Amino acid sequence: MARAGPGRAGGARRGQEQLRPPTWEISDSDAEGPASAETPATTRDPAGERRPAAEALRWLRPWQAVRRLAVLVDPAVLEDAGADTLMEALHALGCEPRVEPQRPARSLRWSRASPDPCPRGVPPEVWAEDEPHVLLLLEPEEFVRGVIQLTQVCGPTCSVPWVTPESPACLHLAVIGLDAYLWSQQPRAQETQQPGRPAVTRTKGAVSWPEVEEALVHLQLWENVDVLLVASWQELSQHMCAFTKALAQRPFKQARESGAFPFCTSRRWVAGERVARDGAGLRGAWWRQVRQFNRVSPAVADTVVSAFPSPRLLQQVYMACGTKQERLALLADLPVKTGKGVPPRRVGPDLSRRICLFLTTTDPDLLLDLGS
C-alpha cells in the first residue's frame, strides 16, 4: 500500500505532463519521435514580407538615389573658368562629381552605385551601374564647322563629325554661347561693296540661324542626338542638375510601374468603402457610387440610398416599370432633406435620368451627362 501511493502520484504527474501544450523549446530530440509532428506550423508574417519591399523602396527614393549617382567629368571640361559653377551646382545637388578621363574628350557621363547587398524585390536592371547618356561639350567654332558639313550634304548617308561607331546610345551635345558667337561673326560675314570688287556675302566658317536649325533637325531625326544651346555655364548647370534628378528618379518609377497594376497592394485596403463578406459596407459603397455622378451633393446621395438601399433593388423597380418615361422619372420627385430655413427641393429629372441610364443601358459609349 505504501508503494501504491507514489505510483499513483507519479501516474498523475505523467498525465499532467501529457496534457501540457507543446512548447517551442529546441533540443536534439525535437526532430525525432511523434512530438515533432504535433508542432504547430508557423504562420506567414505579412509585416516580414513587406519589410524587404519597404527597404528596396527606401533605396529607390529620389533623395537616396541622388546620393548614389556620380557624375564623371572629363578633366578637359575643367579647363574652362566657368566649370567651377557646374561643380558647385552638382555638389549642392547631393550627387558625387568625379574627375576622370572620358571618351570622347570634354564629355560627362553618369554612373550609379548599387547598394550592397541589393534589396530583394527589385528587378536587377534597375541597379544598372552605367547610364547610357553622355553629354559632350562643344565650342561654338567646332559646332559651326559641323553645321557646315551637315548642311552641305544632307540625308541619312551624311556623316556627323561627333557620332562614331563607338559613340554611346544616348548622345547629347551642349554648346555654350553659340548665339553670341554667331552675332560676333555677322559683321565679318558681310563687307561693304567697293568699286571694281564684287560684294562678299559670306566668309568661310560663317553660318546663319536657318542653317543651324536645319542641322538641329537633321541631328534629331537621323541621328537621335539632342543639342542643348545655352548662353552661360549657369544655364548649363541648371540643365545638368535637372537631368541628374530625372536619372535619379527613373529607377523608382520603373520599380513602381513594373507591376501590372501598381496601384493595387496585396492584403491591404487602399481607399474607398470596405465591404466585408457578410455584406457590411455595401450601403456605403452604393452611396459613394451615387456621389461619383456630377453635381450630386451628399444630401441627394442620402435621399437616393435611403429610398433604394442597393442598386439591385433599384434595378428591380426599373424592370417593373411599364414605360421608359416612367423609369427615367422614377427618382425625380424624391424629396431631399434640407436644413432649417432652406427651401425644399427634389432629386430632379436630370439625375434621375442619369442613374436610370447607368443601371439599365447596354451601350458602353452612351454619354450619361449631357452637360459635360
CB atoms near residue 319 (< 10 Å):
9
Q: Which one of 16-25, 179-188, 276-285, 296-305 scores highest in mean pLDDT? A: 296-305
In terms of residue numbers, what domain contains 124?
Answer: 53-154+167-185+206-258
- Residue 87 pLDDT exceeds 90: yes
**Does one domain contain both 89 and 219?**
yes
For residue 89, pLDDT over 70 is answered with: yes
- Please give the pLDDT value at position 192: 46
pTM above 0.75, yes or no: no
Last residue of a domain, one of 223, 258, 293: 258
236 and 127 in one domain?
A: yes
User: Looking at the structure, do residues 88 and 231 belong to the same domain, yes or no?
Assistant: yes
Alpha carbon distance 121, 258 (integer Å):
11
Domain membership of residue 16 (yes or no) is no
Look at residues 239, 2, 28, 219 and name the one whose alpha carbon lies nearest to residue 135: 239
Shared-domain flag, residues 347 and 237:
no
Whether residues 229 and 312 fall in one domain: no
Total domain count, the chain: 2
Say how far apart CA 158 and CA 218 lie, in whole Å. Answer: 10
* CATH code assigned at 74: 3.40.50.10130
Last residue of a domain, one of 242, 258, 274: 258
CATH number, domain with residue 291: 1.10.150.670
pLDDT 10s digits, 160-184: 778 777 777 788 999 999 999 988 8
Inform me whether the pLDDT recorded for 200 exceeds 90: no
Residue 265 is assigned to a structural domain of this protein: no
What would the mean pLDDT of 282-310 be, rounded to a whole number? 92
Tell me, yes or no, whether 246 and 131 share the same domain: yes
Task: Assign 144 a pLDDT band (cuts: 50, 70, 90).
Answer: very high
Assess whether 226 and 343 both reside in one domain: no
Q: What is the 3-state secondary structure (H, E, C) of 164-211?
A: CCCCCCEEEEEEECHHHHHHHHHHHHCCCCCCCCCCCCCCCCCCCHHH
Tell whether 66 is covered by a domain.
yes
Does residue 146 sit in the same domain as residue 289?
no
Q: Quick one: 141 and 230 in the same domain?
A: yes
Q: What is the pLDDT of residues 227-256, one digit of tens each?
A: 999 999 999 999 999 999 888 887 777 766
